[in-house]
Structure 1
């Protein structure tokens, strides 16, 4: 992938004019407290993108640092299973982040619709996301907020790629700073910030302990559990009760919902949802697990709408 484009904020009018010379902006796709996402059409070829327009006036100094960090991270990423930043422009007042258009909907919506996934497809999805996470970790990025809402299909066509999105809570380390295969729990590079979505947060994050990329394995384990049975592994009437359940780490496979799921699938879930990060399966080990079947690398949307709800 070529270098991402950045227009200097010392020439704000030039940057905004350059964006407007390259793209038509169309309807609003979404809004947040400081940003609006619109569909954009590249004039040269008519290709559609999603442009995230962030107003600096609505950002705190801390928020502004996060935006720069996110842009720095996204500018490094070039992987088929991770959303792509095409280019970005910065003016005195705004950022324009031109992202690849993902129109196939969230994995979350598919879970609601289908209740649960066949093992073959769940294995394919898990392998695809694990490969993408391995790539991100290799270039120094820990996502820290992996969940079905942040996993989006490129289109609604059969075979569409599932992609990791939303790097707002991700952390960038220099490539090589993160421990490699077989050393995933080294203290060479750890983080401490408590962040992420409670249902998907790893025990070490909840405890406020130093942590590393093993937190992404835990979150992927929660996603896999949900894919196979249709509900999350840990529950609580409050966030505090939920955290207590996560820290206890007792993964239950209720017969009513798990009787048709293979022992290999359950084994992988258990190894991903191991409370002690030093004993948790690493991504290289996960990719060698017998349930992650050879040849299941596409991570695409199934051409069949069938589910395993009969199990």
Structure 2
């Protein structure tokens, strides 16, 4: 989502998902775009849904040949016990110690994604263990599902559902007609998945529109919470009394619940308590959902700045507005929903269960659901995309583009917590 939006990974080497790790979301994206399969370099974050350029696409015949060469290359790397069950079809994601491919089950011909992780690589074993600890616990129709795992000394193969319906914002733009009722229905599905995670004591820590994917292209598709590369056990509701899923910088509280401290996530969606390096809980996901709700209803961000340090200061102040189109056409009930997710005090935010019962969500925005917000939302999204693609990285903030950050002191551009 622009130059200043690189994911901030957990601090320190060998603590949680390391530098260059392919997030699970890459295993779930729609795989029909030739440029995704042809690109040898990691894909630019946030440059997909608003891109209008097709000039760099290779000729179709060249693209198919290159794709087939890659399929052959990565098929040879797979353990025969895996390829005995799955046909390798296409490479759809890559990182420094992981590759993600689209596959078909040999018996059922059902499509899946397999994430192959090199566990002997620096940070690979810790990243794999952390992600699997979460994925093995979850089972919900609105959370991406782990199918099976093949574990070998050098590599781990994680078989996952394959979501082909595209990202949340892709669907908003492509519909041609989008109302508050549509927004409420989408957010209700996200809340169902989040409620399941939080009841298990799992904090996602990187909730954003790119990690909300539709299972299939149809209008009746379910929306899935995906990408658990930064997820961990912690916060209120945690059933964990041991170190399962623990990520460096977090620790067990005196009452047996996890006290999370690691600074990680995607800047525009990070909660103030994370930026201030205060202990935090699953409430950080509810803040992120408030930002998502704002974006889905308007196509704009509540907190945005080219400078990472100014962005952080805006977030910790919690100042945003409902000015500009289409906010005059958005109901007060929808605005109230956003406001109840964005208090600076985490204890004042709606929980996932309470948010599901908020009148705007529970009634599907009855009374204002016929107002078409699509034109303004799409225009704002495209304008933001155009700005993001033209501006240069900010000098302040560091940690952009998926780099790791130092383990000591305060990250450059990160506000300090108030004394006392």
TM-score by length of 1: 0.83
1:85 aligns with 2:146: yes
1:267-282 pair list within 5 angstroms = 267-282=336-351
Q: Residues 116 and 30 from structure 1, CA distance in 2 versus in 1: closer, same or farther, beyond 3 angstroms?
A: farther
Asked if structure 1 preserves the Cα contact closer than 8 Å seen for 2:299 and 2:376, the reply is no
Residue 55 of structure 2 aligns with which residue?
Answer: none
Please say if 1:54 is aligned against 2:123: no
Q: State how far apart, in whole Å, the 2-side matches of 1:107 and 1:209 are.
A: 31
Match of 2:352 among 278, 283, 291: 283
Equivalent of residue 103 in structure 2, options 18, 26, 40: 40
Are 2:234 and 2:281, in contact at CA under 8 Å, matched by a contact in 1?
no
Given that 1:233 and 1:252 are in contact with CA atoms closer than 8 Å, whether structure 2 keeps it comes out as: yes
Of 321, 330, 351, the residue aligned with 1:261 is: 330
Asked if 1:153 is matched to 2:217, the reply is: no
**Paired residues of 1:146 and 1:200 also in contact (CA < 8 A):** yes
Structure 1 ranges of 4+ moved more than 6 A: none
The corresponding residue for 2:272 is 203
Superposition deviation, residue 202 in structure 1: 0.3
Q: 2:195 aligns with which of 112, 119, 134?
A: 134
One of 68, 88, 94 as aligned partner of 1:25: 88
1:74 aligns with 2:135: yes
Partner of 1:192 in structure 2? 261
CA separation in 2, counterparts of 1:271 and 1:128? 18
Alpha-carbon shift at residue 93 of structure 1 (Å) = 1.8
In 1, the alpha carbon distance for the partners of 2:234 and 2:340 equals: 26
Q: Deviations over 1:150-185 (max 9, x none)?
A: 111111112111101100000124995369xxxxxx
State the alpha-carbon separation in 2 of the partners of residues 221 and 273 from structure 1.
Answer: 6
Deviates more, 1:116-125 or 1:141-150: 116-125
Whole-angstrom distance in 2 between the partners of 1:34 and 1:77? 24
Match of 1:249 among 303, 310, 318: 318
Q: Distance in 1 between matches of 2:319 and 2:235?
A: 35
User: In structure 2, what is the Cα distance between the partners aligned to 1:231 and 1:163?
Assistant: 22
- 1-structure distance, mates of 2:338, 2:226: 23
CA shift for structure 1 position 79 = 0.6
| Structure of greater relative contact order (alpha carbons < 8 Å, 6+ residues apart) | 2
> Equivalent residue of 2:129, what SS?
helix
Corresponding pairs, count: 280
135-144 or 249-258, which moves further after superposition?
249-258
Within a 5 Å distance, the mapping from 1:169-248 to structure 2 comes to 169-173=230-234, 176-177=237-238, 188-248=257-317
- Give structure 2 stretches of 5+ with no counterpart: 1-77, 241-254, 366-371, 378-420
Relative to 1, partners in 2 of residues 1:103 and 1:207: Cα closer, same or farther, differing over 3 Å? same
Report how far residue 33 of structure 1 moved: 2.1
Unaligned runs of at least 5 residues, structure 1: 1-14, 180-186, 297-305
Q: How far is the alpha carbon of 1:207 from its aligned partner? A: 0.3
Structure 2 CA distance for partners of 1:115 and 1:143, relative to 1, 3 Å: farther
Per-residue CA deviation, residues 19-72 of structure 1 (Å, 9 max, x unaligned), is: 222111121112222211111111121111111111234x31x44212111112
TM-score, L = length of structure 2? 0.62
Q: Secondary structure at the match of 2:359?
A: coil
The answer as to whether partners of 1:137 and 1:178 remain within 8 angstroms in 2 is no
